[in-house]
Structure 1
Amino acid sequence: MTTPRTRTVWTFVITSLAAFMVSLDNLVVTFALPQIRADLGSGLEGLEWTVNAYTLPFAVLLLIGAALGDRLGRRRIFTLGLTVFTAGSAAAALAPSIGVLIAARAVQGAGAALVLPLTLTILSAAVPANRRGAALGVWGAVSGLAVALGPLIGGAITDGAAWQWIFWLNVPIGVVAIPLALRRLDETRGPSTRLDLPGVLVGAAGLFGVTLGLVRGEGHGWTSTPVLASLILGGVAVAAFVAWERRLEARGGQPMLPMSLFRNRGFAAVNVATILFSVGMFGAIFLLAQALQNVFGYSPLEAGLRTLPWTAMPLLIAPLAGPLSDRIGGRPLLVTGLLLQAAGLAWIAATMSTGMSYSQMVPAFTLAGLGMSLFIVPIATVALGSVRPDQQGLASGTNNAVREFGGVLGIAVLSSVFASRGGYGDPEHFINGITPALWVGVAALVAGALAGLVLPGRPTSAATPATADATTTRPILEPAAI
């Protein structure tokens, strides 16, 4: 007979494994993009969608994943998400064309949005209150490790086998995790809430339309009918989403994203800073991962290793930045972090040339990594501290979704600049494109720092993941990712 302690251990193992798997896929494909481009004959637009097709549905559905679990059963929805994610991974590995790969990545993203918030909810419900903080801390470290190691793992697999194995890797893990979840996890539910399906559909349509227009703008012409139609219809859908959410909230309903939250100066400012952080960093990583291979001749593994001063820095800095944030507040760290990231990207943009050595990149990567660490450590505390305790689960989910969409926007915008000023071709052509794109990333990060200055000096309320109610329908803690 399974003891409560054994059940708790199994819950921790299963949820941490699932969180690692879906968090890994956020960046693991980035360093395989040159090989995908060569094998599937894709252009820049196809590579953008290879990344964004995962992130966009993930951002939209993240806000309702936990609510679905509360309503229909957390284990059931968690297992469904694992199944969808695993099936999407297999389809991506078998993809014969870039279009099929993009569709499979969208399936992966939808599955990940069901899995990730429920890993936290299920774990919180299974762990005794006096040990919850430690369990969630380890969970966060595991998820953060996946993000940090994503470029390295993706590069190693692409180098040693083929890019398809990035996706095949998920299949046996999913095949093992699904029956384990059904057998070892308890079925629990939370307070039943009415799902805002119109909000989900209209919001998704708006974000997709805007993203489609931005991605296709340079290739099809910014004044072309398809691009203008995408941008206009997407903008109209976003406006309709805002109007619907306001109306639903005014009638006492349960909107996916209550607009009243953004009347709070602190909450609005932290989300503006978050989206600008993601614009600069996601967009830069997308292009620099390709530059290291296409311009400087590194293999995927060598490129992944060389970005570790950037991507792995949070693992070293977070233990120091956390206590510092508690002492001086999150605003100084957040603003300093954004400025350091801007300095790192500016360094690269100012010195980028075909003859640039790796030793010249290290200080810039280190600066960017240090800045990223200082930003992501206090961001959850600042977001939660800006709202009432009963709004903190929703505030956390919103901030995570904003971060993900910022990444989508960053890849689209910086890639458009890259294509307009240079693009693929010889190394000099690539440099001509990436340099102004990086300066756009710098501008976004500086603007994010200015938004951070609007934040209150100290949170007005506080809650920690350790004390979060295990029945909350929104994630309190998510792995910070670039």
Structure 2
Amino acid sequence: MDAHLAGRPPRTSALPHNSPSARGRWLPLVAACLGTFLLLVYATIVTVALPRMAGELHAGFGALQGVIDVYTLALAGLLLGMGSLGDVLGRKRLYVLGLAVFTAATLACALAGNVQLLIAARAVQGIAGAAMFATLVPLIGLAYTGRDRARAFAVWGAVAGAAAGIGNVAGGMLTQLLSWQGIFYGALPVCAVALWLAAKVPADHARGAARIDWPGIATFSLAATGVTFGFIRGGEAGWGAGSTLLGFGFGAVMLLAFAVVERAADRPMVPLGLFRTPAFNGLLLASGAYYLGAFAFLPVLSLWLQNGAGLSSFATSLVITVQPVAFFATSALAGGALHRMPARWSVGGGTLLVAAGDLLLLLLEPGASWPVLLPGLLVTGVGAGLVSPVLPALAMASAEPAHSGVAAAAANSARQLGLAWGIALLGTVFHRCVPGTGVGAPAGAYAAGLDAVFLVAGAVAAFGGAVAWLVCGRE
């Protein structure tokens, strides 16, 4: 795109649509941010609507968990494969297709008459969300260069941070004022605008369907899905349960099959040489660690805020929103400068700051109220806001242009897998101290459970941050 423009003499007439100086130069960013907002909001928006769903759909706890888990499972498990498909078929084409399917699945969620149909529609939503998430970051990278690219990724990171907080608040408001179906109907106009914007974004060039590495896509997607299912089941049924062990075993076998398939492939989905680069591996580790350390404790924290501190669901969502507000402000204000900073400071330092925020949350003691959480939530939000804007660009820079999409998808996949695994792991840690739902549990049990959660989250973030600090670029 830039080479094409550079070869043309300056003119006084209108510039091409995809020129950095054209009137609509930020249109690709707006389209990508709106798509990101949709898919990340719907990872969290259903949480506060679960009690209403349980009553109207006559659903048990396991089915309600499925409404949340199936979306995360599809999103995390298919992200890398969708990145490869986008590299081959064209990112815009796959993004628009994913957005169209996401819109249809959202309508199906609203119309679902029973919990089984709702779970199926949520699964399709997650698959479509993976297609969107895997392609929109490379589309930003293709649309901008230099300072504009740094600004674009900073804005994108801020929107990603804000989406989580808005999802919590919007879910509480729509469910309280309308119904649980309202959280899905409300997205349809936004989806329509996102489709209109996406259609106007300049297309990238596909490499041809003959190069699709179907065995690589299938084996990795099954491996990620199997391991993610194992973590989810471990948190729900116990780490020694048959379904948990089956998930982990299946995932391990598929991961081995993926390595064999990719080694033998003429045109592998993922160049295995990427994983021989310490900086890339450190980037992936930090991606999962900072997301786990910053966000995986929020479900159990929400449980304490409602059952322990006595807040309503809407008030709980407002307290939690302190964190994404800090995330948004940091990404928006510092995002451009972060791209000029060595990765060990932005990724490693930001992840270590998340760990420090987790340790600040240990100020919570029996009898404490919600304000004691604010320092920890602010620091974890700032730390995450330092890491998020630079991840896509660093991942894309670590690979050849032909594999930039799958490299960015690998970083995002590590991020989502860290969240999915972390929620299950930290949930298990919490419930060992606070059995059941926590209703009526003594304050000491709550404090002990949350302290254990914050310590584990902080340890994971500290390890990931330390590794990234040591191995990521120091230039």
Q: TM-score, normalised by structure 1?
A: 0.80
Inter-partner Cα distance in structure 2 for 1:311 and 1:327: 24
How far has the Cα of 1:166 moved from its partner?
1.9
Aligned to 1:462: none
Q: What residue identity is the alignment partner of 1:340? A: L
| Partner AA of 1:357 in structure 2 | S
Cα distance in 1, alignment partners of residues 160 and 67 from structure 2: 22
Per-residue deviation, 1:387: 5.4
RMSD of aligned Cα (Å) = 3.5
Q: Between Structure 1 and Structure 2, how many residues are aligned? A: 452
Given the two structures, how large is their TM-score scaled by the length of structure 2? Answer: 0.81
- Residue 243 of structure 2, aligned match among 211, 226, 246: 226
Distance 1:346 1:60, change over 3 A: same
Q: Residues of 2 paired with 1:322 and 1:447: CA distance?
A: 24
C-alpha distance 87-306 of structure 1, shift in aligned 2 (>3 A):
same
Q: Name the aligned partner's letter for residue 112 of structure 1.
A: G
Deviates more, 1:430-439 or 1:120-129: 120-129
The structure 2 residue matched to 1:253, chosen from 249, 253, 267, is 267
Instruction: Report the AA paired with residue 302 of structure 1.
Output: A
Alignment partners' CA distance in 2, 1:44 and 1:418: 18
Look up the match of 1:364: 376
Distance 1:34 1:411 in 2: 20
In structure 2, C-alpha distance between the alignment counterparts of 1:457 and 1:177, rounded to whole Å: 36
Query: Would the aligned equivalents of 1:62 and 1:113 in 2 still touch at CA under 8 Å?
Result: yes
Provide structure 2 residue ranges, at least 5 long, that are not aligned to the other structure: 1-15
1:154 aligns with 2:166: no
Q: Which residue is equivalent to 1:478?
A: none
Q: Aligned residue for 1:298? A: 311
User: For residues 343 and 242 of structure 1, do their structure 2 counterparts lie closer, same or farther at Cα, with a shift above 3 Å needed?
Assistant: same
Give the counterpart letter for 1:444 in structure 2.
Answer: V
Query: 1 CA distance for matches of 2:197 and 2:78?
Result: 24
After TM superposition, list the pairs within 5 Å mapping 1:399-410 onto structure 2. Answer: 399-410=411-422
Q: Is the 8 A contact 2:48 2:313 kept in 1?
A: yes
Q: Which amino acid aligns with 2:277?
A: N
Q: For residues 91 and 403 of structure 2, what CA distance do their matches in structure 1 show?
A: 21
8 Å Cα contact 1:34/1:294 also seen in 2: no
Q: Does the 8 Å CA contact 1:158/1:301 hold for their aligned counterparts?
A: no
| Cα 1:79–1:316 shift into 2, 3 Å | closer
Larger mean Cα displacement after TM superposition, 210-219 or 231-240: 210-219
Q: Kindly indicate whether the alpha-carbon contact (under 8 Å) linking 2:352 and 2:383 is maintained by their aligned counterparts in 1.
A: yes
Aligned to 2:99: 82
Partner amino acid, structure 2, of 1:203:
F
Change in 2 beyond 3 A, CA 1:272/1:191: same
Q: Percent identity?
A: 31
Residue by residue, what CA displacement relative to the aligned partner does 1:67-88 show, whole Å, maximum 9, x if unpaired? Answer: 5456556554333212211122
Match of 1:63 in 2: 80
Aligned counterpart in structure 2 of residue 110 of structure 1, from 123, 127, 146 = 127
**Matched residue, 2:424:** 412
Structure 2: how far apart are the matches of 1:338 and 1:107?
Answer: 32
Q: Residue by residue, what CA displacement relative to the aligned partner does 1:320-364 show, whole Å, maximum 9, x if unpaired?
A: 5446545652313433333332233233345243x3212212122
State the alpha-carbon separation in 1 of the partners of residues 426 and 407 from structure 2. Answer: 28
Q: From 334, 338, 348, give the equivalent of 2:347.
A: 334
Within 2, Cα distance between the matches of 1:243 and 1:272?
Answer: 22
Match 1:438 to one of 442, 454, 461: 454
Identify the match of residue 451 of structure 1 among 467, 470, 473.
Answer: 467
8 Å Cα contact 2:154-2:332 kept in structure 1 = no
- How far residue 46 of structure 1 moved from its aligned partner, in angstroms, is 4.6
| Residue 470 (structure 1) aligns with | none
**Equivalent residue number for residue 167 of structure 1:** 184
Q: Deviations over 1:147-196 (max 9, x none)?
A: 443323233323333333222222233345446655x4566532225222
The code of the aligned residue for 1:190 comes to A
Given the alignment of the two structures, is residue 313 of structure 1 paired with residue 326 of structure 2, yes or no? yes
Quote how far apart the aligned CAs of 1:97 are.
4.6
Q: Can you give the 5+ residue segments of structure 1 that lack an aligned partner in the other structure? A: 460-482
Partner amino acid for 2:386? L
AA partner of residue 234 (structure 2):
G
1:418 Cα deviation from its structure 2 partner = 2.8
1:455 is displaced (CA, Å) by 1.8
1:170-181 alignment runs, 5 A limit: 170-178=187-195
Q: By how many angstroms is 1:384 displaced?
A: 4.8
Q: Which moved more, 1:102-111 or 1:128-137?
A: 128-137
SS state of the match for residue 336, structure 1?
A: helix
Deviations 1:419-464 (A, max 9, x none): 33323042426826444333322221122123223224514xxxxx
The DSSP-based 3-state class of the residue aligned with 2:437 is coil
The corresponding residue for 1:239 is 256
Larger deviation, residues 231-240 vs 60-69: 60-69
| Post-superposition CA distance 1:279-322 (Å, at most 9, x none) | 33332122223332233232332222212321111222235544
